[in-house]
Each structure stands twice: as structure tokens, then as C-alpha cells.
Chains A and B, each alone.
Chain A
């Protein structure tokens, strides 16, 4: 299990999760920089994600959607704010409608920090709810996706998928 630390602050509404990987910082950065790699991990297998526009440059806008098992598409948008390859990335993640207009609730802030040691690298992701509605949105979507995330976690116990 690569997760080495989880820190939740109920007042500041932040959750920070840190994982250690047997890879270098550059390889971990690629997981974020390459849209085809992003698509392999951003959505759970039940909700595959498609990144339509994505470039890690400050000021750029990422457009993506996730497809639910019933075919419904959930659209999202990132605003890339700070980029320091391969160590730091800051962005906001918004739920938007299919016209790209933000839904109720402010964005969720995400700060990714990648640090390299001798033969491993750690990736730390801090997520921050900017307001209560964005938090409620996460809970609502969690009803649907929380279940599949959980199955993702137990499935390895029963052998590989496919």
C-alpha cells in the first residue's frame, strides 16, 4: 500500500494524502502531465474519464468528463495556477455543466507536491474545499462513486480484474 500518511483538518476543510512510489519525480509528474495517463487513474473503472484539453501551463484550462455506467457524463474543469515541474502543481477543480458553466459550489483546490529521495519519490496531494457547497457536492457524488472506489479497494483481494 503506497499511502503513507493521511491528514484531515475539519476546520480548514483540507485533506492531505501522501504516497510513496518506487519511481523518480519525473515519472510521477508524467502521471499528471500526460492526459492519456491521467485517464487511466483519475476516474474509477466504473466512471472512466476523458481529458479533452489538458496542458500543464500556468493559466491553462483542463476540460474533462467522466462517464457513469448509465452513460451520463459528469463534466469537470481544472484551472492550472502554478506549475513547477516535476515538483509542484496547484490547480482548482470545478464541477461544470455540459456547457462548461460552473455548478453550485466553489472549486476544490488541489496542491500536488512531489519529492524525490534516493530510490523512491513521494507524492503529496492536498485538497481543500473552498466553501460548504463544494463540500456537499463531494458528499453527493460520493454516494454514487464511493461504492465503486470501495470495490476497487477490495477487488485486489480476489485477484486481478479482467
Chain B
């Protein structure tokens, strides 16, 4: 599947969601914990000074970015990192895009700075 020659809106939207998801230290912590074990939302809430409701919102942001999925087990909501290949591939390629956008911006800055020197 080729995701467009030009960055299309869906692609940009997915990248935005990923950035937003990773922009918060609590959500990065959720990702780490969900990768190591399969914690419940209430167990995650106990690890941080926030309510279960607030934790549910954080998990929902990660779900929209396709980084985690939620599963109902009895009365608990279990959070796990999504392992389906497509979501992982998208996350990895989005990560590379973000990394290279940063690098290209720094290249541009170097060219500008050096031009100023000569």
C-alpha cells in the first residue's frame, strides 16, 4: 500500500495524532507500561496523581493515534500496545518522518548560518 505521492491529509492527520499522543509525559509513561505489561486503566491512574477519568482520556488519545488498544476484562479496562503490523509500521514511518523533518530544518539552519558567515 502506497500512502500517496504527496503528503495527503489523512497522513498529516495521523502524524498530528502521533505528535499529540507523544507530547505528554504521562502518555509516554502509559506507553512504556503498556509495552512491558498489560495494565488496567485504574492501575495506570494509581501510578499518577490523576483521576481514573483523566487517565481514560489519556488512553483515548493513545488509542486515536493507534498506539494502544483497550480490552474489557471483567470490570477492568486493560491497555496494551497495538502489535498489528500496519499500526506499528505507520508509527515507525511517522517517527522517521518527524526525525527527518527535524534534521532537514537543522540542515536549513546550517546553510543559512554559514551563508551569513561568508
Contacts and interface: CB of A to CB of B under 8 A. Distances in A.
Interface of A: 2-3, 5-11, 13-15, 17, 19, 21-23, 27-28, 31, 37, 40-42, 44, 123, 125, 127, 129, 132, 135-136, 138-139, 142-143, 145-147, 149-150, 152-153, 156
Mostly, the B contact residues are: helix
A17 B100 contact: yes
Interface in B50-101: 85-86, 88-101
Contacts of B111: 21-23, 27, 31
Given A5-B6, A9-B3, A142-B22, A15 B96 contact: yes
B43 interface: no
B102 A149 contact: yes
Interface of B: 1-7, 11, 18-19, 22-23, 28, 31-32, 85-86, 88-108, 110-111
Contacts, number: 125
Contacts of A143: 22, 28, 31-32
A5 B107 contact: no
B110 A136 contact: no
Nearest to B20: A150
Nearest 3 Cβ contacts at the A-B interface: A142-B95, A41-B106, A149-B102
B106 A129 contact: no
Given A21-B107, A31-B107, A127 B100 contact: yes
A21 to B, nearest CB: 6
Contacts of A19: 104, 107-108
Nearest to B29: A143
Given A37-B110, A153-B101, A11 B92 contact: no
A5 B7 contact: yes
A10 B93 contact: yes
Contacts of B102: 44, 149, 152-153
